[in-house]
Amino acid sequence: MPSPSARDLLIARGVRCTPPRIAIARLLLEGPPRHVTAEQLHDELARSGHPVALATVYNTLHHLCAAGLLAPLHVERGRSWFDTDPRPHHHLLHEDTGEITDIPLLDLPLPRLPEGTELVRADLIVRVRGR
Amino acid sequence: MPSPSARDLLIARGVRCTPPRIAIARLLLEGPPRHVTAEQLHDELARSGHPVALATVYNTLHHLCAAGLLAPLHVERGRSWFDTDPRPHHHLLHEDTGEITDIPLLDLPLPRLPEGTELVRADLIVRVRGR
DNA sequence: GTACGTGCAAACGTTTTGCAGCGGG
DNA sequence: CCCGCTGCAAAACGTTTGCACGTAC
């Protein structure tokens, strides 16, 4: 089964189709899951012939997160990463290289949540070093 | 058993005792575990009559992390948190209030690590919302 | 005595904001 | 037609750096 078209994904989630959003959705949502930063994506858009202002890249990334098409990823100080696979799963961070890889969903033991709160997400980041 | 004195902790870990470091260690290492940001600590030092330059606060926090007296905590974009309890445990983040609370060490199922890498730490952050 | 810590201010990289103009629905 | 998106540049934010001076050991 081929990936659904970027346009259809946007429409399905009620996100307005504009040229920058379509270009971004095409790069991120058609094809295999990846992790990107805003800066990376900004460069990639320019190189692919669809230059988009950095501010618009951030805007769109946040919109796509809110729409559930991306997941934000906080692994290190400074940069924000975005995961093109919004389904629950975990991450392994190689601290020497900065490389992030996915870990299939582990069945984590979760604590009892405080009264009246609901779970948003449980992020597990396994940090490793070495060769 | 009373907490060991801040001075003794620094000496035991081979950290030079200077006035800013002693003031910071006193605030952070004597007393119950807490989570602080550099900015918070900077204010607190000023209010307690031991003003320290912000750059020195950062410097010292990093030194204390390297010495194993603190643990860094990456929960959100932008700010870095420091945990005064360096023993392994996990965290619950209330996304509406920004409040961070500790979760006792859970027995997490960990994936096989890549060849030749060693585990640094496994951080679990449980994100919740609501009342 | 010397290596290292300190304060200050200025630089840094990433993200956000303000605003005028454009374009999707 | 109008609301919301866009690009641009400037500002904001937390953090780091460079340097002259001072101090722990």
pLDDT digits (tens, 9 = 90+) for A72-90: 999 988 899 999 999 999 9
Residue of chain B with shortest Cα separation from A90: B124
Smallest CA–C1' separation from B57: which nucleotide?
Answer: C6
- CB-nearest to A130 from B106, B118, B131 is B118
Residue A2 has pLDDT above 80, yes or no: no
Question: pLDDT for A93-123, tens place per residue?
Answer: 999 999 999 999 999 999 999 999 999 999 9
Share of chain B above pLDDT 70, in %: 98
- The domain limits of chain B are 6-83, 90-128
Give the percent of chain A with pLDDT over 90: 91
Mean predicted confidence (pLDDT) in A62-71: 97
**Is the pLDDT reported for residue A62 higher than 90?**
yes
Judged against a pLDDT cut of 80, whether residue B3 lies above it is answered with: no
Topology of B6-83 in CATH? Arc Repressor Mutant, subunit A (1.10.10)
Round the average pLDDT of chain B to a whole number and report it. Answer: 95
Q: Do B129 and A117 touch (CB under 8 A)?
A: yes
Q: For the residues A18-26, what does the mean pLDDT come to?
A: 97
| Strand C nucleotides in reach of protein CB atoms, 7 A cut-off | 4-10, 13-18, 23-25
Nearest nucleotide to B53 (CA to C1') is C7
Residues of A in contact with B130 (CB under 8 A): 116-118
Residues B4-31: pLDDT tens digits? Answer: 899 999 999 999 999 999 999 999 999 9
Does residue B78 register a pLDDT over 90?
Answer: no
Q: What is the DSSP string of chain A?
A: -PPPPHHHHHHHTT----HHHHHHHHHHHSSS--EEEHHHHHHHHHHTT----HHHHHHHHHHHHHTTSSEEE--SSS--EEES--SS-EEEEETTT--EEEEPPP----PPPPTTEEEEEEEEEEEEEE-
Residue nearest to nucleotide D13 (CA to C1'): B78
User: Does position B1 have pLDDT exceeding 70, yes or no?
Assistant: no
Contact A110 B125 (CB under 8 A): no
